[in-house]
Amino acid sequence: MTQPDTPWWKGAVIYQVYPRSFQDSDGDGDGVGDLKGIIARLPYIASLGVDGIWLSPVFASPMADYGYDIADYRAIDPLFGTLTHFDALVAAAHALGLKLIVDQVYSHTSDKHAWFAESRADRTNPKADWYVWADARPDGSPPNNWQAVFGGSSWTWDGRRQQYYLHNFLAEQPDLNFHTPAVQNAVLDVARFWLDRGVDGFRLDVANCFAHDPALTDNPPSHRTDAVKPHDMQLHIHDREQPEALAFAARLRALVDEQPGRMTVAELFSHRSLEVTAAFTGGPYGYHTAYNFLFLGERFGAAFLREGVETLMRLAPEAWPSWAFSNHDVIRVATRWGAGRPQPQFAKLLFALLTALRGTAFVYQGEELGLPQAEVPFERLRDPNGVAFWPADKGRDGCRTPMPWIAQATHGGFSESEPWLPLDPAHRPLAVDLQAGDPQSMLAFVRRWLAWRRGEPAMRTGDIAFLDGPAEVLAFFRGGERLCLFNLGETDARFTLPVGDWRVAFDLSGRLSDGDVELAPASGLILASA
């Protein structure tokens, strides 16, 4: 059962807003969403029954990586509005009972940030060691073999300093040097600035990348046979996940804990997802919670999901996990796991499953509509990752296209101007206005499910215990009070219930019959003792 002093974020459902693609309302003709648009749509978000919002970056940026390259941590980019608009968003969200978590990108800045301009000027200025600089090898090549996520070496030569600088992502995103105490202090000042403006927490971008091996040891090969990028041909054990990143987590945790009700959720980008999640959240000095990419890839199935949850419980039994099936970086789950499955029934089942697992659930905008991955033609691609690796990897634009609000409106009601990414015609029939009027729609289901879940303490904060059953049926108790059954396979399944009297607590299209549950593909049941 939920205790009166349980933090709000434990068991919460948090809705991710990708501002560029949510709602364009400022009439400036740029086809980019903005803070005024988000404010206008807050009643819709609240109507879903979620507990809070994760706001992707809206800070000043040259947009080389669409906001994840920040040029001023304390300024709102004019594309999105002003600090006054941001303050209005905080107040409006709170008035509707919604918490607001903002993205913080501390691993790196934009190369247009004033800190980097000073750091690169020479080797003796006050910020000379605020970024990761290294001399070339005798032959002029980079200091080691580290490979960047978006292609090529993680090192770029700078003619001013006559040194290489480190960047895990684009060359326009130089890495901050967390081995320098002044860097950590400056970043903590940034966090304090936003806490003072009333935000309820931070989502920490690539939090395990905050520190590197000072010896610049080469990474070993991954021996992956399916690697599309050089980055995936290495095991990234020296360019991330260093002890200094954990030490900084403790400092940030202490700062956030000074103000009751605030929280941190780390994004952990690692080939060792569960081990790293345990390390960064397994004690009172780590992040409050974290999500990883374990369930954001292609692998799927009841056994895989159970193994992931149980492994994390074993590695860090005291940690509170977070889970996501979709976000702004991966193929939408309705396509990634749902291709060939009955829609929208399978999308409904996945949404219920995500929010039935023990943990905090992060839901990506459009997931409540069952949106599939959009098709974006090559000539309209904006994601540097997609442009570089197309067609083997089409990048992230397909999950970032505009929200379809009104099926028959210009650009789906997202904007009066041509959007920065095109609206996929396949998304129009799934628009909010059509689904809102259909009691059988995905949107109507999400509202019913989350309204029911809100009144079920066991489903929010109860423990989880898995049961054996048919291979593709995921079965578990929440809080010892609710038995959750999900048929993730493609054939009918029958689950034999534990001895006792059972009643249906929430119907996911399964059938209770004489001590058994009959589950068609993409169906389930939530049961309670009668």
- Say if residue 502 is exposed, middle or buried (CB neighbours under 10 Å; 0-12, 13-18, 19+): middle
CB 131 within 8 A of CB 165: yes
CA pair distance 241, 231, nearest whole angstrom: 16
Q: Quick one: which of 530, 510, 507, 506 has its CA closest to 521?
A: 510
C-alpha count within 13 angstroms, C-beta hemisphere, residue 238: 16
Q: Quick one: which of 205, 175, 255 has its CA closest to 54?
A: 205
Contacts of 150-156 with C-beta under 8 Å, sequence gap 24+, read 150/231, 150/384, 150/385, 150/388, 151/229, 151/230, 151/231, 151/385, 151/388, 151/389, 152/230, 154/239
Instruction: Judge whether 258 counts as a catalytic residue.
Output: yes
CA pair distance 463, 479, nearest whole angstrom: 5
CA 148 to chain CA mean position, Å: 20
Which of the following is catalytic: 111, 158, 205, 368? 205
Give the tokens for residue 375: 């098709």
Mapped onto helix, strand or coil, the DSSP state of residue 498 is coil
CA pair distance 234, 145, nearest whole angstrom: 9
Give the tokens for residue 124: 């003796």
CB 44 within 8 A of CB 160: no
Q: Quick one: which of 488, 456, 477, 474 has its CA closest to 345?
A: 488
H or E segment and range at residue 496: strand 493-496
Which of the following is catalytic: 5, 139, 196, 258? 258
What is the chain's alpha carbon radius of gyration, rounded to the nearest angstrom?
23
H or E segment and range at residue 164: strand 163-166
Instruction: Judge whether 307 counts as a catalytic residue.
Output: no
CB 51 within 8 A of CB 8: yes
CB 404 within 8 A of CB 412: yes
Residues 6+ away with beta carbon under 8 Å from 479: 1, 457, 458, 459, 461, 462, 463
DSSP letters, 441-465, are SHHHHHHHHHHHHHT-HHHHH--EE
DSSP state of 429: G
Amino acid at 425: P
Give the tokens for residue 316: 């860090």
φ and ψ at 352, to 5 degrees? -65, -40
DSSP state of 259: S
Amino acid at 207: A
Residues in the chain: 530
Give the tokens for residue 358: 């023990």
- Which residues are designated catalytic? 205, 258
